[in-house]
Amino acid sequence: MMALPALSARIGGPALLQLPLAGVAACSLACAGVAPRAEVEASPLSPAMSAAKTPPAPVDRVDASGAATHTAVERLRSTLRRLAGSDGFALGHQDPTAYGVGWSAADADRSDVKSVCGSHPAVYGWDVFRIENGALENGDGVSFDLMRRRIQEAHARGGINTVSWHVDNPVTRGDAWDTTPAVRAIVPGGSHHALYRSYLDRVGDFFESCRADDGQLIPIIFRPFHEHTGSWFWWGADHTTDADYIALWRFTVDYLRQQRGFSHLLFAFSPGGGELRSPRDYFFRYPGDAYVDVMGVDHYYDTDVASLVRAVSITVTAAEAHHKLAALTEFGMRDGLSEMTPPSWFSKNFFEPLVTHPSASRIAYALAWRNAGVDHCFVPFPGHPTAADFRRICDDPRLVLQRDLPLEKDTTP
């Protein structure tokens, strides 16, 4: 999320929009007539430093051939393509089954979305910040053991998992909102580069521990260094250069793919929607097609529906020009819901403006931010003034929930 501290058959038919993803096709930005502000060469990777790592959960069976992992990744890609090509999109929520308003992780198989609508969301958002420090729980108090279990449960249901990373400032060891410049220090050749590699190893160890019963690595949409168009994070617009941000993104992707050997991660790029006025704006510090799978946007607003539609339409236009998938990777009312939120906010200010728009409707999913409590929530809980309206949009066949997944019930990827 942006400036808040880290208290901080519904769809059928053939698969549409056969979109190649990163690593499959690497066309240049020129294919859309748009050039990034800077280009850097991918730096060669040096061996990973040895570092204390979060131990992975024990796995009884290992997907030695990688066949099951490959099948799972292709199924995720197929699902995202079908969602983007449908007349609706999937609903996501951050930390949905870890906690909610008035309940905690001790409550099994619960989410505020399910309490209001009868089903979990289709997309489950998580954040691994603080794992880089060897912590046992993230900055929002979710233990990584619990997070792993909830990721596994969501995958077993056919759900989609996405992970963001509000990574602490590696120079000062302050949080993500400590805007002391740090990017140049952690790119290859920087004073803190070895430390950053140890951060990636801890993140990688966690991803490697997230396995299904058959040993497959669970596919994850990984979304680091988000909202870089703003300046509230240490990797933001005013705190680094075009070349250094691109170098950081590329090194991160290369390290996880090459040094760690991961093929089960899709990488999501997500500028802030408030800074987007044209498709060209979207490509601020874009790292290149070979390093991005999902083109997202994060947007918080109140009743300014035009700003939402503009940000999402720009994202869809950019994504389709580069043969990528588009998503609303974070959204919500600017300061969260309250008792004063208009009761029809979700239908009038979110769902209908998107689902009826000729281009904005072509997103794969939209993920609402987390429900930390009554004073910091982004989807309704039972009894909230917006709950009835939210339930109505969840009953609309154009909004996909967990009960509608997997889409490929009778087909193979």
3-state secondary structure 343-355: CCHHHHHHHHHHH
Q: Is residue 24 part of a domain?
A: no
Q: Is residue 410 part of a domain?
A: no
CA 142 from chain centre, in angstroms, equals 17
Q: What average pLDDT does this structure show over 242-257?
A: 98
375 contacts 336 by C-beta, under 8 angstroms: yes
pLDDT for the residue numbered 407 = 79
How many Å apart are CA 299 and CA 114, to the nearest integer? 24
Q: Is residue 276 part of a domain?
A: yes
pLDDT of 172-226, one tens digit each? 999 999 999 999 999 999 999 999 999 999 999 999 999 999 999 999 999 999 9
Q: Is residue 345 part of a domain?
A: yes
Q: Is residue 78 part of a domain?
A: yes
Q: What average pLDDT does this structure show over 61-87?
A: 88
Q: Tally the domains of the chain.
A: 1
Upper half-sphere CA count for residue 256 (Cβ side, 13 Å): 27
Residue 49 has pLDDT above 60, yes or no: no
**Full domain range(s) for residue 197:** 68-404
Distance separating the N- and C-terminal Cα atoms of the chain: 33
Q: Greater confidence, 105 or 325?
A: 325
Q: Is residue 411 part of a domain?
A: no
pLDDT of 76-88, one tens digit each? 999 999 999 999 9
Residue 350 has pLDDT above 90, yes or no: yes
Q: What average pLDDT does this structure show over 45-71?
A: 52
Measured between alpha carbons, how far is residue 347 from residues 89, 206, 333, 386 in Å?
14, 37, 13, 10
Q: Which residues of 81-115 are buried (b: 16+ CB within 10 A; e: fewer)?
A: bbbbbbebbbbbbbbbbbbbbeeebeeeebbbbbb
- What's 54's DSSP letter? P
Q: Is residue 341 part of a domain?
A: yes
pLDDT of 105-132, one tens digit each? 888 899 999 999 999 999 999 999 999 9
The domain that holds 293 is classified in CATH as: 3.20.20.80
Residue 409 has pLDDT above 70, yes or no: no
Q: What average pLDDT does this structure show over 221-245?
A: 98
Q: Is residue 45 part of a domain?
A: no
Residue 366: helix, strand or coil by DSSP? strand
Q: Greater confidence, 1 or 67?
A: 67
How many Å apart are CA 324 and CA 316, to the nearest integer? 9
